[in-house]
Structure 1
Amino acid sequence: MTAMTDTTTEFLAACRAAIGAAHVLTEPSDTGGYLTDQRGRYTGRALAVLRPADTGEVAEIVKLCAHYAVPLVPQGGNTGLVLGSVPDQQGNAVLLSLRRLNRIRAVDPINNTMTVEAGCVLQHLQEQATAVGRLFPLSLAAEGSCTIGGNLSTNAGGTGVLRYGNTRELCLGLEVVTAEGEVMSSLKGLRKDNTGYDLRDLFIGAEGTLGVITAAVVKLFPQPLAQVTALVALDTPAQALQLLQLAQSRCASALTGFELMSDFCLQLVCKHFPEQRLPFAQRHAQYVLLELSDSESEEHARALFESVIGDALEQALANDAVIAASLAQSRALWQLRESISMAQAHEGKNIKHDISVPISRIADFIATTDVLVQQAAPGCRMVTFGHLGDGNLHYNVSPPVGVADSAFLGQQSAINLVVHDSVDRFGGSISAEHGLGALKREEILRYKSPVELRLMRAIKQALDPQQLMNPGKVL
């Protein structure tokens, strides 16, 4: 915390009056968990951590920030990877935690919608949907701690994008506190509403730089009668793309998951989580995890999967495959996929890239960029995995064996340049689902056109003229 001025003291006193003194945290022992990023690499500074209980209190805090010209950093579950939800080192901002806004306001199974507050943990939404016989399909590794407000602010993707789309596609309406402290409420749950500009989409993916999302109406779907999971072993990403085409042609929208994982990814998982095992007698260069959600029956789903995988084996697109015979086996296969990031963390520091390229170019991108990265950092180990079905790869780089993390991280800027330039040449994006935050704010200047940047800055200026909303992020 920075030294107090009279104005700062007055501002914090007003915050205590607005939301209660117990929810204005200023002691380092109370604020530490909020100010350090999820990966533990960066700790910012703040005047205080503020914990409002509802939208009205959020609006009061934002009005106070506008009046006293205090920057504000919104935060949900603090699971982001690009420094988007922690303040910088200036110490002149407040961190606005939305974790107390955690009510599910309404569930409408007939309209297939749920109205939720921004601080609701994603897993809780999934459970509430299941309780009324519905599915909320957003699913990602951090679902036990990330919040729907953060998911919306970063337009999170996850494992179900192939069938259900990103978080943007799962949202029908928002409640937002603007930079002036006004409340924009559009929580009607309508699928058709052509009455002017789509203000909702301005705030989704804006990372809290235009306003504070406090609630949303999200889409629900019928629960599938059966979900069948398979793990396929193959040699190359090119074969994985052929398998994707085959599976989509047979399964259409019933194909809800298609995840690519390299052998090194799963070897890391088995190394750091020895209770997990690959279900094959020998190692293979690549693996694909497929999931089929069926509206008929498990027998129908299994027969369809067996047909697809049988043809893949006959056509030499795959070397081996296993279809989960039970829910426990399905969870074990998914656990292999979901444990990759944690296994990377146990292995040591690494340089992460959340990129997307056109699906048809993924195999060529991997082959080309692997060579370029090896030239830049000989001996480095590629941890490549991700959502092949929607073109999103987590193209991560671990240091060579025996090289200290600190020495390797000194090459981060050079390696980022190699990877991101390659992404650009392949017509891709340097951020697929994690956002820009502070980490990629300068990087994006190389790849966005001047027209795009000018329009983005014009929107920022119009909606946040004092430049107080999550400063130093995105732009």
Structure 2
Amino acid sequence: MARELGADMVLAGESVERYCRDWHGDVTTGAVAVLRPRTTEDVSAAVKACAALGLSIVPQGGNTGLVLGATPDQPTRQVVVSLERMTRIRRIDADDFSAVVEAGCILSEFKDAVAREGMFFPLALGAQGSCRIGGNVSTNAGGINVLRYGMTRELVLGLEVVLPDGSIFDGLSTLRKDNRGIDLKQLFIGAEGTLGIVTAVSVKLTPEPDQVATALLGLNSLDDAIALFRRARRDCCDLMSAFEFMPPLAFVLAREAIPDLAMPIAGDYRAYVLLEISGSGLVDIADLMERFLGAVMEEGLVADGVIASSQGQARNLWLFREGMNEGQAKRGPHLRTDLSVPLSRLADFVRDAEKAVADVLPDCVCVSYGHVGDGNVHLNVLPPGDLPRAEIDARIYKAKTAINEVLDTYQGSISAEHGIGRLKRADYITRLPAVRRELLTALKSAIDPTFVMNPGCQLNIERSS
């Protein structure tokens, strides 16, 4: 393979290890080799070489996924194709409100480059300093700004994709309206590399919001948080860019990870909301936030709150949301979920699911938080940290089963924004209606008839020989 593609592109032996370990370090596998192309033509050549050798391909961006979608699971049969060298921003067009960027560009670096042109790319994730654009597209990433700007799918105008036979699909148009039949780019968004390798993306940009107001609010219940969201959605309209809910334990966990974090509001409330509204131009965002909070506090819907008076204070408020995740990791292996239910039923679901876990695992702690505006809740479960690993794993499985049983009664989704990968494949398949599975299998077979692209990810269909 090195002879065909060049030694510069091929890594083997111990050098592949960091590409074969998942983001949290829970799983380490292996691969025949890691290929690191620099151009779309390199990717095409790599795909053709793998096909000739009978090897399957696991596409990989920043390897920050949470469902093992980019982690090889057949070390003697799979090659990782890393897009980390394809980092070029091909074009930023402020007049067209669009940009074209290669798949290996790190999200935060792309956002910074766009900002220097006075524009804004709204996708915002905790891993944005490491994740890459191609992976964001391939997993249809969500994040904190979905409420206002939508999932990654809503931000993509066009794609360039290397198909399983090595041919290149060039669909990098920046047209907003193009109704010429089936929108083929949608097939690859959220497909997790099972239909091809995304090599470049054209995306929508927006004017950079030059006014941002951030507030942390204490409430008496999650039901009040849902009611507050309804009011904010009406009164702040489309200027609301984030509405996150957190339990009291979030602040304990955040300070375990970042000890010098100071509690921004007094009291111990049963629910907390991190609210952000933003805009540019002639709208007075600070005045809108003050008037809105004044009204809801006078009505008793919000018990207490603080508005950030500077970017530094706003960043400090967001550190509680981000530090909470670090604090959970410090407590050891635990169940991480990524669920969605109808927004109107979110509070009821959290109550029912937490009770289901408490009934079967009274020694475990639930941490429920997430994005109220899109019905996405991360209901995580922390087992006691002093147990043997086998007992921890057993509790994680038992908690997942209990939560998913409740989720099914709410007709919710086991994956709101993280994807399916290999980690959630079994739970996904058992809940997949027959007609939908037939369509997905037919699609996979038509585009990837030799099943070379990321076999075992999402579905468990592979080549017969």
Find 2:341's aligned residue among 349, 354, 357: 357
Letter paired with 1:165: G
Letter paired with 1:136: F
Q: What do residues 176-232 of structure 1 show as CA deviations (whole Å, max 9, x unaligned)?
A: 000010000111211111112111000000000000000000110001230010000
Identity of matched residues, %: 44
- Structure 1 position 36 matched with structure 2 position 17: no
CA RMSD, Structure 1 to Structure 2 (Å): 1.3
- Structure 1 position 439 matched with structure 2 position 423: yes
Q: Using the TM superposition, name which of 405-414 and 46-55 deviates more.
A: 405-414
Residue in 2 aligned with 1:3? none
Structure 2 CA distance for aligned equivalents of residues 398 and 412 of structure 1 = 8
Q: CA deviation at 1:237?
A: 1.2
Q: CA deviation at 1:235?
A: 2.1
Structure 2 CA distance for aligned equivalents of residues 75 and 110 of structure 1 = 32
Cα pair distance change 1:230/1:95, threshold 3 Å: same
Q: CA deviation at 1:17?
A: 2.8
Q: Using the TM superposition, name which of 410-419 and 400-409 deviates more.
A: 400-409
Residue in 2 aligned with 1:96? 81
Letter paired with 2:44: A
Q: CA deviation at 1:406?
A: 4.2
Residue in 2 aligned with 1:277? 262
**Contact kept in structure 2, 1:44 and 1:91, CA below 8 Å:** no
Q: CA deviation at 1:405?
A: 4.9
Q: What do residues 253-297 of structure 1 show as CA deviations (whole Å, max 9, x unaligned)?
A: 000000011111221111221111221122222110011112246
Residue in 2 aligned with 1:450? 434
Residue in 2 aligned with 1:319? 303
Letter paired with 1:447: R
- Structure 1 position 17 matched with structure 2 position 13: no
Structure 1 CA distance for aligned equivalents of residues 141 and 122 of structure 2 = 12
Q: CA deviation at 1:400?
A: 3.6
**Contact kept in structure 2, 1:399 and 1:405, CA below 8 Å:** no
Residue in 2 aligned with 1:197? 182
Structure 2 CA distance for aligned equivalents of residues 371 and 91 of structure 1 = 44
Structure 1 CA distance for aligned equivalents of residues 125 and 348 of structure 2 = 27
TM-score by length of 1: 0.94
Residue in 2 aligned with 1:9? none
Structure 2 CA distance for aligned equivalents of residues 343 and 17 of structure 1 = 47
Find 1:430's aligned residue among 407, 414, 417: 414
Residue in 2 aligned with 1:415? 399
State the SS of the aligned residue for 2:71.
Answer: coil
Residue in 1 aligned with 2:47? 62
Q: Which 4+ residue blocks in structure 1 deviate beyond 6 angstroms?
A: none
Residue in 1 aligned with 2:99? 114
Find 1:126's aligned residue among 68, 91, 111: 111
**Contact kept in structure 1, 2:370 and 2:378, CA below 8 Å:** yes
Q: Using the TM superposition, name which of 144-153 and 419-428 deviates more.
A: 419-428
Q: CA deviation at 1:22?
A: 2.6
Q: Using the TM superposition, name which of 55-64 and 443-452 deviates more.
A: 443-452
Find 1:219's aligned residue among 204, 207, 210: 204
**Contact kept in structure 1, 2:332 and 2:385, CA below 8 Å:** no
Q: CA deviation at 1:401?
A: 6.3
Letter paired with 2:340: S
In the TM superposition, 1:35-184 aligns within 5 A as 35-184=20-169
Q: CA deviation at 1:382?
A: 1.0
State the SS of the aligned residue for 1:408.
Answer: helix
**Unpaired runs of at least 5, structure 1:** 1-11
Q: What do residues 373-423 of structure 1 show as CA deviations (whole Å, max 9, x unaligned)?
A: 111211211111111111111111001465455422222322212111211
Residue in 1 aligned with 2:13? 27
Cα pair distance change 1:49/1:90, threshold 3 Å: closer
State the SS of the aligned residue for 2:236.
Answer: helix
Q: What do residues 59-105 of structure 1 show as CA deviations (whole Å, max 9, x unaligned)?
A: 01111122222100000000001110010044211000000010000
**Contact kept in structure 2, 1:441 and 1:473, CA below 8 Å:** yes
State the SS of the aligned residue for 1:271.
Answer: helix
Q: What do residues 427-465 of structure 1 show as CA deviations (whole Å, max 9, x unaligned)?
A: 210001110000011111222211111111111111111
Structure 2 CA distance for aligned equivalents of residues 32 and 367 of structure 1 = 42
Letter paired with 1:409: D
**Contact kept in structure 1, 2:250 and 2:320, CA below 8 Å:** no
Residue in 2 aligned with 1:371? 355
State the SS of the aligned residue for 1:67.
Answer: helix
Q: CA deviation at 1:309?
A: 1.4
Residue in 1 aligned with 2:462? none
State the SS of the aligned residue for 1:410.
Answer: helix
Residue in 2 aligned with 1:4? none
Residue in 2 aligned with 1:252? 237
**Contact kept in structure 2, 1:350 and 1:405, CA below 8 Å:** no
Find 2:375's aligned residue among 381, 388, 391: 391
Aligned length: 459
Structure 1 CA distance for aligned equivalents of residues 69 and 319 of structure 2 = 27
TM-score by length of 2: 0.96
Residue in 1 aligned with 2:463? none
Structure 2 CA distance for aligned equivalents of residues 384 and 284 of structure 1 = 15
Q: CA deviation at 1:23?
A: 2.5
Q: Using the TM superposition, name which of 248-257 and 311-320 deviates more.
A: 311-320
- Structure 1 position 242 matched with structure 2 position 256: no
Q: CA deviation at 1:302?
A: 1.6
**Contact kept in structure 1, 2:255 and 2:323, CA below 8 Å:** no
Q: Using the TM superposition, name which of 166-175 and 227-236 deviates more.
A: 227-236
**Contact kept in structure 1, 2:174 and 2:202, CA below 8 Å:** yes
State the SS of the aligned residue for 1:411.
Answer: helix
Residue in 2 aligned with 1:267? 252
